[in-house]
Structure 1
Amino acid sequence: MKPKRRNGLPKYCSLVIDRHKKRRIRFRTRGVDTYLPFPPVGAEFEKAYAAALAGVTEWRANIGVLRTRAGSFDALAVSYYRSPAFQGLRDSTKQTYRRIIENFREEHGSRLLRDLRREHVKALIGDMADRPQAANRLLSLLKIMLEHALDNGWIAVNPASGVKGFSKKTKGFHTWTDGEIAAYELRHPEGTKAHLALTLLLYTAQRRSDVVVMGWEKIKGRYIEVKQVKTDAELDLFMLPALTDAIRGLPRDKPTFLTTDFGKPFTPAGFGNWFRDRCNEAGLAHCSAHGLRKAAARRMAEGGMSGDIIKAVTGHTDLKQVSVYTAAANQAALAEKGLKAIAGKKKRTNSDQPLRKVGQSKGE
């Protein structure tokens, strides 16, 4: 999760100089007062920051019953955080849910659930028309939480049930074309960190969260081991020559192939922002790290690879999702292959007797 920053520092954070003249980051808000590592970037800091935010949530949950109004959204949040449904989520999902819930609580936490009507939910979501994706995420989470309230007898009906979000009129992340890949490589030639990043993304077909943890310890012979952060899928990926050439000269004392300017591993969000700048430098503002994962799938589809083969590389378990990734495959080239398969191979007829012309009699 990328911290929201003000004056260069995330929320609740300030820069302090301790008695040893050492710079430190202080995280301070009601219920939590702690210090985080300096500088305020990189995986170590963001992990500590996420833990501090979790402490805010835990503090609210611990005293929430005493300070919240019974039947309010605040009380619902406290109850939901303690529920098996929430506790069973992945840590990354918990952080995302907490961020959405806490932002909503700041404005609506004291309101009573019994007063919430369907038209109120529709109005809340409608007011976020300029942020349709954020509105849809909030609506989905409200449905989950209000269902929790319904199950616990707090409300008689879920007012968010049946409320529709904004239609998804997007194809998702843009799939890089081969021309765009060439343009990026022209701006960021071999030997640069920017080129290494593209190589890792394209020639492993993995997400940014998986690429940022790749390092020498993941290399096993001709393969690189991947345990996907999002799905826990475990993959052994054959390393193409372009990939082995790109990492051959990298130092072996670093925990990961890609590191920040401070020598620390990137966080997924930090890497995404850094890679966005590299794309902008190449004149590719519409391209992204995830678009290279889709480009890899596109190339496999254009190469005639089956859905099962593509799944083995990307780690997907659903062919339907693979079809989303391969939607940008060259339709004309694939159609040509399909039509040639329909035609089949012509069989030439070998005959000792020449074919008779129409109308020719047997004795002629």
Structure 2
Amino acid sequence: MASIEFKYLVKDTDRYGTDRYYVRINGRKRRIRGEPPGPEFVAAYHAARAELEAGQGAAAERKTIRPGSLEWLGREYFASGIFRQLDARSQRLRRNILEACFAEPIAPASKARMGDCPLAAFGSRHVETLRDRKLTTPGAANNRLKYLGAMFSWAVKSKRWTDNPVAGVESLRYASDGFHSWSDEERAKFEAHWPIGTKPRLAYALLLYTGARRGDVVTLGRQHMRNGVIAFVPEKTKRLRADPVFVEIVEPLRTAIEAGPAGNMTFLLTEYGAPFSAAGFGNWFGEKCAEAGLPHCSAHGLRKAGATIAADGGASERQLMALYGWTTLGQASTYVRRANSKRLAAGAVRLIGETAGEQNVPPNGTDAVPQDGTD
């Protein structure tokens, strides 16, 4: 999300290129329909801000967070080393989701909040309630389980609490493959619209041929190049390990960098000559995709496309882990498994075609005998 012109107003561009606006204050948010700066939008913005600020004031008037409550455990977790070693984006995402859980009423229209619930009374029933209030967005529902589970897992290990009420609660099942992975046709369409020598094409090449996330690609510059290789430590994992990713500068990438327009300390610069923020770059690149007739494509989708291309070409799980900075086999195995399935299915279809075709060939060149036995 990237801040825009009104205080507390944030814009979120979904994978289909649709802009959604929210007023967000201390983890709580209200969506605003329409587009700024129309009068209806401005009125809705002020109404949402007043509502959230009133709630913030009411929260400030409450007595100090009670020790032993769910929100107390959250504050302990946010101050812990295990939480603080996460990268800034992960901390922000996790904190916002957990604080939204704390702010939920225990029951509809109730003034009692989940965060005020004593840990001794907070059980799987409450966890299921928090999950089910996000039934329409199952990914968000499962994120609540994921981060509540992580908090309670830490609490058990650190002796802050005795059990994890999330452990027995099932995640919601839903069909989703996450961000859209670019097809060959979509990549060709983008390349035709943004030729070599344009900034969108440079960004495209850096994303596709380095496998960097948007938070890393905006930091890449000539200082990362040496002996035909780009080396960088991914932001997402550098707090856990400082192992760099080494990416060979293949010819399409070299051509894009040389053609530019490319900066020095950072290849990608805004129209003002400054480095992009991760969110700002994501929004900018999404706009360039839309201009190319690809509003459903994104920066992260190119990372997925690259992994798919590599796996289809025979890359091993360890090779994918080395290129994309993954620390476990899970994600790499997904791409390799799909590539193997494609190859196996293609081989099976060929066998069917060969075998079925042979059955239609008369033996020794003689005429086939009709099935009904007539001449």
Per the TM superposition, whether the score is higher than 0.5 is: yes
Q: Which of 304, 307, 311 is matched with 2:314 structurally?
A: 304
| Distance (Å, rounded) in 2 between the aligned partners of 1:220 and 1:324 | 32
Equivalent position SS for 2:200 = helix
Displacement, 1:151? 6.2
Is 2:169 the counterpart of 1:171? no
How many residues were matched structurally?
290
Counterpart of 2:66 in structure 1: which amino acid?
Answer: R
Q: Which of 204, 222, 233 is matched with 1:227 structurally?
A: 233
Maintained 8 Å contact 2:321/2:332: yes
Identify the residue that residue 237 of structure 1 maps to in structure 2.
247
In structure 2, the CA distance between the partners of 1:103 and 1:226, relative to structure 1 (3 Å rule), is same
Residue by residue, what CA displacement relative to the aligned partner does 1:153-206 show, whole Å, maximum 9, x if unpaired? 776654333111212422232222211100111222222211111111111122
Maintained 8 Å contact 1:298/1:327: no
Q: Which of 211, 215, 219 is matched with 2:217 structurally?
A: 211
Identify the residue that residue 305 of structure 2 maps to in structure 1.
295
| Distance (Å, rounded) in 2 between the aligned partners of 1:230 and 1:164 | 27
In structure 2, the CA distance between the partners of 1:316 and 1:134, relative to structure 1 (3 Å rule), is same
Is 2:139 the counterpart of 1:141? no
Identify the residue that residue 99 of structure 2 maps to in structure 1.
102
Identify the residue that residue 258 of structure 1 maps to in structure 2.
268
Identify the residue that residue 65 of structure 2 maps to in structure 1.
68
| Distance (Å, rounded) in 1 between the aligned partners of 2:280 and 2:202 | 16
Identify the residue that residue 322 of structure 1 maps to in structure 2.
332
Q: Which of 269, 273, 292 is matched with 2:283 structurally?
A: 273
Q: Which runs of 5+ in 1 are unaligned?
A: 13-27, 30-62, 341-364
| Distance (Å, rounded) in 1 between the aligned partners of 2:103 and 2:229 | 48
Maintained 8 Å contact 2:196/2:259: no
TM-score normalised over the length of structure 1: 0.68
Maintained 8 Å contact 1:294/1:325: no
Is 2:190 the counterpart of 1:192? no
Maintained 8 Å contact 1:150/1:157: yes
Counterpart of 1:120 in structure 2: which amino acid?
Answer: H
Displacement, 1:224? 1.2
Displacement, 1:127? 0.9
In structure 2, the CA distance between the partners of 1:8 and 1:191, relative to structure 1 (3 Å rule), is farther
Maintained 8 Å contact 1:205/1:313: yes
Identify the residue that residue 353 of structure 1 maps to in structure 2.
none
| Distance (Å, rounded) in 2 between the aligned partners of 1:272 and 1:326 | 27
Identify the residue that residue 47 of structure 1 maps to in structure 2.
none
Equivalent position SS for 1:95 = helix
| Distance (Å, rounded) in 1 between the aligned partners of 2:157 and 2:321 | 38
Residue by residue, what CA displacement relative to the aligned partner does 1:307-343 show, whole Å, maximum 9, x if unpaired? 3333333233444421323566496567668999xxx
TM-score normalised over the length of structure 2: 0.66
Is 2:125 the counterpart of 1:119? yes
Q: Percent same amino acid at aligned positions?
A: 37
| Distance (Å, rounded) in 2 between the aligned partners of 1:188 and 1:253 | 18
Maintained 8 Å contact 1:149/1:155: yes
Maintained 8 Å contact 1:80/1:86: yes
In structure 2, the CA distance between the partners of 1:310 and 1:146, relative to structure 1 (3 Å rule), is closer
Q: Could you say what the CA RMSD is over the residues aligned between the two structures, in angstroms? A: 3.5
Equivalent position SS for 2:247 = strand
Identify the residue that residue 181 of structure 1 maps to in structure 2.
187
| Distance (Å, rounded) in 2 between the aligned partners of 1:216 and 1:170 | 37
In structure 2, the CA distance between the partners of 1:300 and 1:79, relative to structure 1 (3 Å rule), is closer
Residue by residue, what CA displacement relative to the aligned partner does 1:198-253 show, whole Å, maximum 9, x if unpaired? 11111112222221111111111311112111223412221111111111144676
Counterpart of 1:258 in structure 2: which amino acid?
Answer: L
Which protein is bigger by CA-based radius of gyration? 1
| Distance (Å, rounded) in 2 between the aligned partners of 1:98 and 1:332 | 40
Q: Which runs of 5+ in 2 are unaligned?
A: 11-24, 27-59, 105-112, 351-375
Residue by residue, what CA displacement relative to the aligned partner does 1:131-164 show, whole Å, maximum 9, x if unpaired? 2222212212222334455567776654333111
Equivalent position SS for 1:224 = strand
Equivalent position SS for 1:182 = helix
Identify the residue that residue 107 of structure 2 maps to in structure 1.
none
Q: Which of 122, 128, 134 is matched with 1:128 structurally?
A: 134
Residue by residue, what CA displacement relative to the aligned partner does 1:336-361 show, whole Å, maximum 9, x if unpaired? 68999xxxxxxxxxxxxxxxxxxxxx
Identify the residue that residue 78 of structure 1 maps to in structure 2.
75
| Distance (Å, rounded) in 2 between the aligned partners of 1:153 and 1:304 | 47
| Distance (Å, rounded) in 2 between the aligned partners of 1:291 and 1:308 | 21
Identify the residue that residue 10 of structure 1 maps to in structure 2.
8
Counterpart of 1:71 in structure 2: which amino acid?
Answer: G
Equivalent position SS for 1:237 = strand
| Distance (Å, rounded) in 1 between the aligned partners of 2:213 and 2:86 | 20
Displacement, 1:271? 1.7
In structure 2, the CA distance between the partners of 1:312 and 1:97, relative to structure 1 (3 Å rule), is closer
